[in-house]
Amino acid sequence: MNNMKKIFAFLVLTLVFSSVTFAQAFDEPKPKPTVYIDYFKRTSDVPFSLAEGLRNGVIGGIQKMNRVILIDVDSQDVLRIEESRRNSEGISAGDDNEMDRLAVMGQLGAQFLITGHVASITTSWVDGKDGKPGYYSAKASLTVKVINPNNGTLIGTESFTASGTAKERQAAMAAACSATFDMDDFVDNYFKIEGSIIEVNKSKKDKAEEVYINVGSAHGVISNQKFTVYIAREVAGRVARKEVGRLNVKSVEGDDISLCKVNKGGEEILKAFNEENKIIVVSRKQTLLGGLGNIVRENE
């Protein structure tokens, strides 16, 4: 009989601990991931300086989003490669032991690794019209990969192009490789913001109209940021998610708080909140307005 009581007590404690762990998983928002960006490889006909310019443009575009902790391998002594070696064909061809580098990044706490390859930079002459002078048009093509440094698994690949114009050929190439890339969609796709609904600010009848979420400026949330809403529940020790609505950020009101308008699913959101269910919010792709300057995404 005593054994039965012990077993019962153990099961109760297990269920309580499991419930507490499940609750705690959503008490705090998902922190910014630590992302390392490696040197970009290039074909032999691509100048080193231009490949570096494209890499700097990608870094600038990612940093602008304020969504990740971005670490340049050039800032880490153990990962730094001398410029003279990076400027040689050997390093461009990838003779470094990549698995060793991945292992080091994993030890340093990298959760993601971004790599790049500049495939080509081409130029063409464009004749002037209506008395206007001609000019050179340049186009750079590169591929960016997201990798799990802990096992080398490829998470995703995207291709980009950048263009530039100038009266001289070299200047056009430099213009194509010197602008900051628009990385909004890229970051939205691979580095999502995750948080939860912490308060219903406004409701009408049986529908939530405004809610507060526990992510803000410190997580990269911006005005008009869009979120998908999920109800989370534990199933056999796993977390199952059911999509129930959509939010749009009205105002970012602090490091870890934002006010959102409920665009869809107000009834289910209010019901879940009143029943104290766990409600997760996950950022989703923004709709970009206007052009992308001299950066054009190939995969859109």
pLDDT (0 to 100) of residue 87: 78
pLDDT (0 to 100) of residue 235: 82
* Alpha helix segments (H runs only) across 177-212: 184-190
pLDDT (0 to 100) of residue 214: 96
Q: Residue range 210-235: average pLDDT? A: 92
What average pLDDT does the chain have? 84
Say if residue 39 is exposed, middle or buried (CB neighbours under 10 Å; 0-12, 13-18, 19+): buried
pLDDT (0 to 100) of residue 179: 84
Q: Is the pLDDT of residue 89 over 60?
A: no
- Tell me the residue length of the chain: 300
Q: Is the pLDDT of residue 110 over 50?
A: yes
Q: Is the pLDDT of residue 96 over 60?
A: no
Q: Are 61 and 142 in contact (CB under 8 A)?
A: no
pLDDT (0 to 100) of residue 234: 81
* Alpha helix segments (H runs only) across the chain: 2-24, 48-65, 83-86, 89-93, 98-107, 169-176, 184-190, 266-274
Question: Taking the chain, what is the end-to-end CA distance rounded to the nearest angstrom?
Answer: 67
pLDDT (0 to 100) of residue 29: 85
Nearest to 19 by CA among 257, 211, 237, 244: 237
Q: Is the pLDDT of residue 21 over 60?
A: no
- Higher-confidence residue of 257 and 130: namely 257
pLDDT (0 to 100) of residue 142: 94
Q: Residue range 15-29: average pLDDT? A: 48
Could you give the domains of the chain?
38-190+291-297 (3.40.50), 193-283 (2.40.30)
pLDDT (0 to 100) of residue 121: 94
Q: Are 34 and 69 in contact (CB under 8 A)?
A: yes
Q: What phi and psi values does residue 278 have, to the nearest 5 degrees?
A: -80, 125
- % of the chain with per-residue pLDDT over 90: 64
Instruction: Quote the pTM value.
Output: 0.80
Q: Is the pLDDT of residue 7 over 60?
A: no
Q: What angle do helix axes 169-176 and 48-65 make, rounded to 10 degrees?
A: 30
- Higher-confidence residue of 193 and 11: namely 193
pLDDT digits (tens, 9 = 90+) for 35-49: 999 999 999 889 999
- Kindly indicate the confidence band of residue 25, based on its pLDDT and cuts at 50, 70 and 90: very low
33/262 Cα distance (integer angstroms): 27
- % of the chain with per-residue pLDDT over 70: 83
pLDDT digits (tens, 9 = 90+) for 147-194: 999 988 999 999 999 999 999 999 999 999 998 899 989 999 999 999
pLDDT (0 to 100) of residue 13: 42
Mean pLDDT comparison of 26-35, 98-107, 266-275, 281-290, highest-scoring range: 266-275
pLDDT digits (tens, 9 = 90+) for 283-300: 987 654 333 334 433 333
